[in-house]
Structure 1
């Protein structure tokens, strides 16, 4: 055991793929938190009885993966990565959701052998309760973004990690919910729990970017806390 695993605590917190690698060595459960927007959109789909196939790319590779699984690919038609596009998604829809952050981390987390959940503010308490049932240690992974990544989901360019306020807040809300269930938090998780200010979502860089692009409704949906009982768990590559 090493210091990077934050050993000795029920709940640990780290960032991005590097954090998955570090925490995945000991954690039985990993919660991927990508508030704007993969985890929030996943919550809305699963909350309506649907399933989500995490897809890393929106190019021909993602389309081929979706078609092979029999899923509808977001970005072709009505549904997209934006939460507002799926609020009325037909119950039972199987949606392939491209995301270079959240979807990629789900695959990386699954490769560690841990049980993988997708968490956000909307389902913070529900995801915490499900993770607690599955048993720990529990790793909370704030997704962050990658400098220079092509956010269209095409290409293979990844830069260094950029921590994001919205994912810090989402991870903190989940950590706080786990603490209420009696779990001990690592200092990293405890700090996030103490600073989980939902009001920061609207004015953080990502929130402002979306709002200025005319997508303020997506930010508002993502900033709702504990309005959902969905707790998406990855099973055979599908969140349900």
Structure 2
């Protein structure tokens, strides 16, 4: 076992694109956790019988890809990346969801050959059960944020990783559910499992940013734990 590996454990945890690269060499399943907001919005869409096309950037390339797939593009109508915008999305909708964090990591994770799931607090137990059904080891990817990234500018340069409380808690909730199913957690995953405090979501940096921008309802939706049976899985480029 290399000093930087988490070999020997059923469940492992790492961060961002670097974490995908590390765990993609070890894990049969990768779970992307971007609680505010890609994974939460994806859970709500899939829970209503819709599908999500992850799109890295909302630029000409991303829009062309979405239109070629026949998808409704988030941001061009009633639906956006905000969870509250999709609570009444019609069943059967294919929603193209631009996100430089969650969507980008889903594509990177798929490139490793692993099964890819999108997890959050809402669907932690459902995703854990699906991950074990697919076989292990299971790698939990806490998305985090990137300092200095222009989300809407379509730039290619990523700033340094900013680990986020909400993604550690989301990954931790899934880790805890996996432990409850008998899986052996790495120290990294076990620490995240002990960190889950959904009440802290509203007061963490990301939660405060959204609330102060008038989006407290999105934080409330993301804070609900194990209220969904959806386990969005990437199949032919689409989460369903």
Per the alignment, in what secondary structure is the counterpart of residue 202 of structure 1?
Answer: coil
Distance apart, 1:199 and its partner CA:
1.1
Q: Provide the residue aligned with 1:133 in structure 2.
A: 133
Distance apart, 1:153 and its partner CA:
5.9
CA distances 1:93-113 after superposition (whole Å, capped 9, x unpaired): 000000000000000000100
CA distances 1:156-212 after superposition (whole Å, capped 9, x unpaired): 232000000000000000000000000000000000001111111100000000000
TM-score (norm 2): 0.98
**2:95 aligned with 1:109:** no
Q: Which aligned pairs between 1:1-240 and structure 2 lie closer than 5 A?
A: 1-152=1-152, 154-240=154-240
The verdict on how the C-alpha distance between 1:113 and 1:124 changes in structure 2, with shifts beyond 3 A counting, is same
Please, which runs of 5 or more residues in structure 2 have no aligned partner?
none
The verdict on how the C-alpha distance between 1:220 and 1:153 changes in structure 2, with shifts beyond 3 A counting, is farther
Q: Is the 8 A contact 1:32 1:116 kept in 2?
A: yes
Distance apart, 1:24 and its partner CA:
0.6
Distance apart, 1:123 and its partner CA:
0.2
Query: Aligned residue pairs: how many?
Result: 240
- Runs of 4+ that moved beyond 3 A: none
Distance 2:100 2:209 in 1: 18
